[in-house]
Structure 1
Amino acid sequence: MKIAVVGGGWAGLAAAVTLSQAGQQVSLFEMAGQPGGRARSLGGEEPRLDNGQHILIGAYRESLDLMRQVGARPDELLLRKPLRLRYPQHEGLRLPPGPPLPAFARAVLGYGAWPWRARLALLRASLGWTLNGFDCDPRLSVDALCQALPAAVRQELIDPLCVAALNTPAREASAQVFLRVLRDALFSGPGSADLLLPRRPLSELLAEPAAAWLEARDATLHWQRRISRLEAGPRLDGEAFDAVILACSAGEAARLAAPLAPDWAARAAALRFEPIVTVYLESPGSALPAPMVALHESAEQPAQFAFDLGQLGHAPGRFAFVISGAAPWVARGLEATGAAVLAQAQAALAWRSPPTLLRCLAEKRATFACTPGLQRPAAAVAPGLWAAGDYVDGPYPATLEGAVRSGRAAAQAVLAG
């Protein structure tokens, strides 16, 4: 079959690789001059900066499988560490190796920074979530789900995990999706909660190896090519295909699909998005207490996590500070955001040399807002037309794993059809 994939992010690449592996004739169209979508490295700089600090976890099995399929080596490209919420001045919750349920119980019971009452409350809540199959009323927010937990547990575990996984503050985030993330990350098997931190620029994890893999198998890759119109057939800009997968952004997919599937397009266009801001600092000779450090967020201290890129094999003395759910700070402006992060870094961490601001990057539509009861667009759009992307209906929030699973599922649907 002659199949078009519109979009060269992780979802589009997953779809294109799956189809090419099955012997189909694949044409991939990407507006940008490089693959990767919102998970890519910036061009023209050495050492390379990423458009945002991304991480994977051990539960991202399909992402890791796709990396291996295109010749990338996760064991070399990713630093694998057990889940550890290390704060600047003290050790946070840390999962030991072993079967997930006993490991989680040992981690909670052994965390002396929380009083016994708080530790037992978290274990009781976790037992309740487990007995309920990690499901709940879809109208619940994470705040409502966890309202009985002590403040220390919410502040040092629930809130940082929620904003990191869903990019939505706990007061607005879907408890149902949050529980699914907890189930797969913390309780689905040994190593599922492990943090996988990129040792190389982000584009080298999947985007560039996948593009080279596709080219070697005679897929046609069109860079800097925006599709103007989609017609029944399906046809892209007048060219006929047996099937089309829209693996572009939700807004772009809605624009293209509107003439053929107006209801689907309206649902995709109605999604609300949350930004992520990444602030890069430099401080020669400095190092953080761990490759990834959790930070206490406040009204004037925006970042939730900091990454020591030198410890990850990137440029020594370079650090990435991440602000998820960053809409209030985007509204203040990047200059004010960068200054606030610099002040937060100076107050919270010890430095060998005064840190300086290197760059402040905002991905204004980083992820959809994962709110309670959200109705996401389906993968099936119209005859011969499918959608793939982290926003498409599925069990995960907007993550790399969600994008890869969606791309593979759309490709399998095309093959089955």
Structure 2
Amino acid sequence: MKVAVIGGGWAGLSAAVSLAEAGHSVTLYEMAPQLGGRARSVPGEPVCDNGQHILIGAYVETLALMRRVGVDVEAALLRTPLHLPYPGEPGLRLPGGQPLVSFTRGVLANSQWPLSARLALLVRAGRWLLQGFKAPADQTVAALAAGLPPVLARDLVEPLCVAALNTPAHQASAQVFLRVLRDALFSGPGSADLLLPRQPLSDLLPAPAERWLLARGATVRAGARVHALARHHAAWMVDGEAADAVVLACSAREAARLTADIAPAWSAEAAAFEYQPIVTVTLQSPGSRLEAPMVALREGPDAPAQFVFDHGQLGLAPGRFAFVVSGAATWVARGDVAERVRDQALAALPWAEPPVIERVLIEKRATFACTPGLRRPPAAIAPGLVAAGDYVAGPYPATLEGAVRAGRAASRLVASASVMQNRSP
């Protein structure tokens, strides 16, 4: 089949690679000048990413895709057991081994929490396990954690929630949060490991995937926004060019625009999302070094960031530190996020030299707001037309793994349609 993949982010790349592997002729369209979508490197000197993305050991589909296109995952990612240190505090650290044993040992060993809090967390986690990590569809993460000692909400539940769902705990879906916890903490040895990029984001997947696709005869059109999609007899017309099938791997807004006349109900669902921004503030302080490659921070009324990453320890740029503000709608509206991050950094961390603001990156629609009962459109839109994106119906929030899985699922839908066409008289 001749398949058009519209969107060159991680979902589109996943779909394109899977389709090319299956022997289909692939044309990949990307409206931006480079591939990668919301997880890519930004041109400039020095090279900077459009945000500080991390992976975890449970991202099995993402890691498999990276390996398939020739990435040396062990060299590209710094893999460490889950560790959430705070400035001057060791924080939660999970040792290796079987998930339940590892989690129990890690919680009991965290002396920064009172023993009563540690036991309360183990009891609550055991209850979630017995309930199959399921929660009512209308429950928030804050409600899920109600009754836990405040130190656990502050140092564990809220940071993990905003990191995984990019939505504050009082607004975030408990059902999705528990699914993330299940897969990350309890799905197998190493699933909770942190995988921190030691290379620019474009080198993790977009650039290797583009080379891989071109080497197998695919066509890649960067800087090419698709203006019109229409059905003509048995073919789909992508800006007037015929295709047997189309994978919409662009943003939900772009997908809604392209399908407004084709599938109005689907288009309306895709257009209805509310979004949460992520802000990344990079500070420069030559000679400075954090106690770990990633350090958790306590946010507050004048402290926006939840995490900071030491790029020097990741082999990227010594003296550069990336502060991440997730669920950042309030801070974007205030307009002083960079200054408040710098003040937070000065108050929370030791510095060889006072840090200065290097760059501020604001992704205003970084992810959809992962709220309880959120309606997400299905992948199947019309015969031969499927959607691939972290926003399509599924159990995961807007993550790299969610995007890659959606791309793989879309390629399978296209392949099954091809089989049915071949069988028809």
Question: TM-score under structure 2 normalisation?
Answer: 0.97
Distance, in Å, in 1 between the alignment partners of 2:61 and 2:42 is 25
- Aligned-residue offset at 1:349: 0.2
- Aligned-residue offset at 1:44: 2.7
Q: 1:85 aligns to what SS in structure 2?
A: strand
Q: Which residue of 1 aligns with 2:189?
A: 190
Distance, in Å, in 1 between the alignment partners of 2:383 and 2:165 is 32
Q: Which residue of 2 aligns with 1:108?
A: 107
- Aligned-residue offset at 1:281: 0.3
Q: Which residue of 2 aligns with 1:343?
A: 343
Q: Which residue of 2 aligns with 1:271?
A: 273
Q: Which residue of 1 aligns with 2:379?
A: 379
- Structure 2 counterparts to residues 25-64 of structure 1, below 5 A: 25-46=25-46, 48-64=47-63
The reply on whether 1:249 has 2:251 as its aligned counterpart is yes
Partner amino acid, structure 2, of 1:302: P
Distance, in Å, in 1 between the alignment partners of 2:76 and 2:391 is 26
Distance, in Å, in 2 between the alignment partners of 1:85 and 1:328 is 25
Q: Which residue of 1 aligns with 2:152?
A: 153
Q: Which residue of 1 aligns with 2:290?
A: 288
Partner amino acid, structure 2, of 1:89: G
- Aligned-residue offset at 1:240: 1.4
Q: 1:228 aligns to what SS in structure 2?
A: coil
Distance, in Å, in 1 between the alignment partners of 2:182 and 2:151 is 22
Q: Which residue of 1 aligns with 2:119?
A: 120
Report percent identity of matched pairs.
64
Distance, in Å, in 1 between the alignment partners of 2:354 and 2:44 is 27
- Structure 2 counterparts to residues 123-134 of structure 1, below 5 A: 123-134=122-133
- Aligned-residue offset at 1:377: 0.8
Which one is further off, 192-201 or 232-241?
A: 232-241
Partner amino acid, structure 2, of 1:413: L
Distance, in Å, in 2 between the alignment partners of 1:288 and 1:380 is 47
> What do you get for the CA RMSD once the two structures are aligned?
0.6
Q: Which residue of 2 aligns with 1:2?
A: 2
Q: Which residue of 2 aligns with 1:305?
A: 307
Distance, in Å, in 2 between the alignment partners of 1:223 and 1:33 is 5
Q: Which residue of 2 aligns with 1:221?
A: 220
Partner amino acid, structure 1, of 2:412: Q
Which one is further off, 1-10 or 224-233?
A: 224-233
- Aligned-residue offset at 1:234: 1.7
- Aligned-residue offset at 1:114: 1.3
Partner amino acid, structure 2, of 1:188: S
Distance, in Å, in 1 between the alignment partners of 2:179 and 2:32 is 33
- Aligned-residue offset at 1:397: 0.2
Partner amino acid, structure 2, of 1:160: P
Q: 1:3 aligns to what SS in structure 2?
A: strand
Q: Which residue of 2 aligns with 1:163?
A: 162
Q: Which residue of 1 aligns with 2:87?
A: 88
- Structure 2 counterparts to residues 305-324 of structure 1, below 5 A: 305-324=307-326
Q: Which residue of 1 aligns with 2:11?
A: 11
Partner amino acid, structure 1, of 2:24: Q
Q: Which residue of 1 aligns with 2:354?
A: 354
Q: 2:381 aligns to what SS in structure 1?
A: strand
Distance, in Å, in 1 between the alignment partners of 2:333 and 2:217 is 45
Distance, in Å, in 2 between the alignment partners of 1:349 and 1:116 is 27
Q: Which residue of 1 aligns with 2:141?
A: 142
**Structure 1, residues 253-284: CA drift from partner, whole Å, max 9, x if none?**
00001111000000000011100000000000
- Aligned-residue offset at 1:21: 0.6
Q: Which residue of 2 aligns with 1:20?
A: 20
Partner amino acid, structure 1, of 2:130: L
Q: 2:268 aligns to what SS in structure 1?
A: helix
Any stretches of 5+ residues in structure 1 without a counterpart?
none
The reply on whether 1:392 has 2:392 as its aligned counterpart is yes
- Aligned-residue offset at 1:243: 0.4
- Aligned-residue offset at 1:235: 1.3
- Aligned-residue offset at 1:137: 0.6
Partner amino acid, structure 2, of 1:77: A
Any stretches of 5+ residues in structure 2 without a counterpart?
418-425
Partner amino acid, structure 2, of 1:104: F
- Aligned-residue offset at 1:120: 1.1
Distance, in Å, in 1 between the alignment partners of 2:42 and 2:32 is 12
- Aligned-residue offset at 1:130: 0.4
- Structure 2 counterparts to residues 228-247 of structure 1, below 5 A: 228-232=227-231, 233-247=235-249
**Structure 1, residues 321-359: CA drift from partner, whole Å, max 9, x if none?**
0000000111112xx111100000000000001110000
Q: 1:409 aligns to what SS in structure 2?
A: helix
Q: 2:105 aligns to what SS in structure 1?
A: helix
**Structure 1, residues 292-312: CA drift from partner, whole Å, max 9, x if none?**
000000011000000000000
| Count of equivalent residues | 414
Distance, in Å, in 2 between the alignment partners of 1:397 and 1:376 is 11
Runs of 4+ in 1 over 6 A off after TM superposition: none
